C-alpha cells in the first residue's frame, strides 16, 4: 500500500506544474495577468491557463492579446436583467458570481484529464468567491492585485475604516492608510462611498486572509513606504509579492521611431520633434461628457502644444461608460469636437477615434507627456518609458492613484475641477503648458527618469521583482 501511494506521488510530481489564472472582466485586469503568465511560461517551465469570465463574446483585441497563452473564455454572463444604473464594481462582482458554475466545470474537466498537476489558482481582487472552488480541488489560492500597493493596504483596513466612519458620522476628512500619504475622503475610490458596493468590497477584503499569497503589480522604488508596511509579518495577512511592473515592454526600435508603418498615429509621431507630443487617452473604459470634450479640445488648442488624442463618443451619465459597452462605432467620435477644431489644430495635433496602440505610443521618442485617467496599467506603462503625467481620474480607484502620482511619487500634475464639475479650458491649457514647457515639467521628467531606471533594474536578471516571481515559481513547482 505504501509503495503505491509513493509511486502515485512520484507520478504526480513528474507532471508539469499548471497555474490557473482568472482575471475580472476588463482589459486592465487581463493585461497584467498575461504579462505575468509570459514570465512564468518562458523562464520557469510552468504551464498557465487563463480562464476568463465576461459579459460578451471575446473581442478581436482580446483574442489577439491571448494568442500565445493557453486560455478559456467562459460562457458569457448576460447583464440584461440588471438596472442600467448598476455600478461597475457590482457588474464585475455579478459576472464572477454567475460564472462560478462554469469555473467549477472547467477546473473539473482539466484536473481530471490533464497531463499537468494544478499547483495554484490565481484570481484578482474581485475573484475571491472562487476560493471555495479551488479548495474543493485542493488547489492553493492566490490573489493577483491589479492596482496600487496603496489600494491593497487600504483593503486590509476597510472594515476598521468603515467602523471609524460610522463612529464619526462620516466627519473624518483625512484617511491615513499605513505607509501612504494621507488621502482626503473625496479622493477615495468611488465605490467606497456607496454602501452596497462598499459591503461587496469588504466581503472580498475579508477573504484575502484565505489566500496563500498576494501578487502585487508594483515595486519597492515606486511605493517604498507602503510595500515595506505590507511586507511586515502580521497575523491574518498573507505574504505580499511585489512583482511589477508587469507591462507590455516595447523593443528599442519602436522606442526610437515607431516601426509600425501600418498605424497612422505612429507614422504621425515619426514626424514630430523628440519629446514634444502630449498623449491624451482615457483607457478602454473611460468616457467624457459632451461638455468636457469641448473644454478639453479648446484647452489643448489654447496650450499651443503638440498632442495625440484618442477620442471616444461622449457619455453624459457614466465616466466608465465604455467599460462594459462597446463604443458605438456607428457614430464618429470626431463629430463631437468643436466646429473647426481639427482644421485649426492639424499642424500640431492628431485626433484618432476609439483606439491607439498605447504601449507603442508611450515608448515613442516623440512623446513628452501623458494626460491619463490614472488607470494603474497606464501609470506603469508611463513609468517604464519615463513619461510624466497629467492626472485626470474618472472612476474606480483612479482618484487615489492621482494622489499617489502627484503627492507621493511626484511625477504628475492634476488640473483643478471648476464649480460646474468640469475641468475648464483655461485650466487645461495652463496644466498642459506647465508639463510640456515649464520648470515643473522638467522636475517631473527628471523624477520619472529615476523611476524608469529603477523599473528596468527590478525586472532584470537579479532584480527584486524577478526574485519574487522566482520564489513563487519554485513554490508552485514543489506543490
Query: Which alpha helices (DSSP H) does 258-413 contain, by range?
Result: 264-270, 290-303, 341-345, 358-363, 376-385, 398-403
Instruction: Indicate which residue of 94, 97, 116, 124 is catalytic.
Output: 124
Burial classification of residue 129, based on how many CB atoms lie within 10 Å of its CB (0-12 exposed, 13-18 middle, 19 or more buried) = middle
Percentages helix, strand, coil for the chain, rounded to the nearest 5?
50, 15, 40
Could you tell me the sign of the dihedral formed by the alpha carbons of 177, 183, 188, 192, in that order?
A: positive
Write out the H or E segment, with its range, that includes residue 353: strand 349-353
Q: Which three cell numbers stand for residue 452?
A: 524608469
Q: Is 29 a catalytic residue?
A: yes
Report the C-alpha gap between 120 and 268 in whole angstroms.
45
Torsion over CA of 151, 221, 257 and 351, rounded to 10 degrees? 30
State the DSSP code for 208.
G
Instruction: Indicate which residue of 29, 71, 94, 364 is catalytic.
Output: 29
Quickly count: other Cβ atoms within 10 Å of residue 245's Cβ.
28
Report the C-alpha gap between 253 and 259 in whole angstroms.
7
The tally of CA atoms less than 13 A away on the side-chain side of residue 191 is: 22
Angle made by CA atoms 160, 132, 111, in degrees to the nearest 5? 145
Residue 51 near residue 103, CB atoms below 8 Å: yes
State the DSSP code for 397.
T
- Active-site annotation, residues: 29, 124
Amino acid at each position: 500500500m505504501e509503495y503505491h501511494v509513493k509511486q502515485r506521488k512520484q507520478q504526480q510530481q513528474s507532471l508539469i506544474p499548471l497555474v490557473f489564472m482568472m482575471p475580472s472582466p476588463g482589459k486592465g485586469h487581463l493585461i497584467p495577468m498575461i504579462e505575468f503568465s509570459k514570465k512564468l511560461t518562458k523562464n520557469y517551465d510552468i504551464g498557465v491557463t487563463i480562464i476568463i469570465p465576461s459579459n460578451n463574446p471575446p473581442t478581436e483585441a482580446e483574442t489577439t492579446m491571448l494568442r500565445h497563452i493557453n486560455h478559456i473564455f467562459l460562457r458569457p454572463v448576460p447583464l440584461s436583467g440588471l438596472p442600467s444604473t448598476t455600478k461597475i464594481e457590482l457588474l464585475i462582482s455579478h459576472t464572477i458570481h454567475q460564472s462560478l458554475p462554469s469555473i467549477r466545470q472547467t477546473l473539473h474537466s482539466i484536473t481530471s484529464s490533464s497531463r499537468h498537476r494544478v499547483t495554484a489558482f490565481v484570481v484578482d481582487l474581485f475573484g475571491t468567491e472562487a476560493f471555495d472552488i479551488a479548495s474543493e480541488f485542493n488547489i492553493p489560492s492566490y490573489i493577483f492585485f491589479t492596482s496600487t500597493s496603496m489600494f491593497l493596504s487600504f483593503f486590509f483596513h476597510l472594515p476598521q475604516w468603515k467602523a471609524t466612519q460610522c463612529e464619526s458620522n462620516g466627519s473624518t476628512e483625512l484617511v491615513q492608510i499605513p505607509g501612504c500619504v494621507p488621502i482626503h475622503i473625496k479622493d477615495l475610490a468611488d465605490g467606497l462611498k456607496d454602501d452596497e458596493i462598499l459591503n461587496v468590497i469588504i466581503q472580498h477584503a475579508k477573504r484575502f486572509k484565505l489566500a496563500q499569497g498576494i501578487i502585487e503589480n508594483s515595486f519597492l522604488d515606486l511605493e517604498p513606504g507602503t510595500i515595506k508596511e505590507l511586507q511586515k509579518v502580521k497575523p491574518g495577512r498573507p505574504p505580499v509579492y511585489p512583482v511589477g511592473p508587469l507591462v507590455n515592454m516595447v523593443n528599442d526600435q519602436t522606442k526610437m521611431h515607431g516601426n509600425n508603418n501600418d498605424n497612422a498615429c505612429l507614422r504621425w509621431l515619426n514626424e514630430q520633434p523628440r519629446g514634444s507630443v502630449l498623449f491624451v487617452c482615457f483607457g478602454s473604459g473611460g468616457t467624457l461628457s459632451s461638455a468636457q470634450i469641448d473644454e478639453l479640445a479648446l484647452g489643448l488648442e489654447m496650450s499651443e502644444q503638440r498632442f495625440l488624442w484618442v477620442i471616444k463618443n461622449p457619455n453624459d451619465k457614466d465616466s466608465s461608460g465604455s467599460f462594459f459597452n462597446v463604443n458605438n462605432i456607428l457614430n464618429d467620435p470626431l463629430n463631437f469636437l468643436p466646429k473647426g477644431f481639427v482644421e485649426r489644430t492639424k499642424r500640431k495635433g492628431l485626433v484618432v477615434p476609439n483606439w491607439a496602440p498605447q504601449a507603442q505610443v508611450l515608448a515613442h521618442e516623440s512623446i513628452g507627456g501623458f494626460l491619463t485617467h490614472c488607470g494603474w496599467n497606464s501609470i506603469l506603462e508611463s513609468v517604464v518609458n519615463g513619461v510624466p503625467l497629467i492626472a485626470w481620474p474618472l472612476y474606480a480607484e483612479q482618484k487615489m492613484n492621482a494622489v499617489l502620482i502627484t503627492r507621493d511619487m511626484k511625477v504628475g500634475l492634476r488640473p483643478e475641477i471648476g464649480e460646474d464639475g468640469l475641468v475648464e479650458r483655461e485650466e487645461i491649457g495652463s496644466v498642459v503648458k506647465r508639463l510640456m514647457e515649464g520648470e515643473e515639467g522638467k522636475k517631473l521628467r527628471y523624477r520619472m527618469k529615476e523611476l524608469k531606471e529603477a523599473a528596468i533594474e527590478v525586472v532584470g536578471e537579479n532584480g527584486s521583482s524577478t526574485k519574487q516571481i522566482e520564489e513563487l515559481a519554485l513554490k508552485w513547482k514543489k506543490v
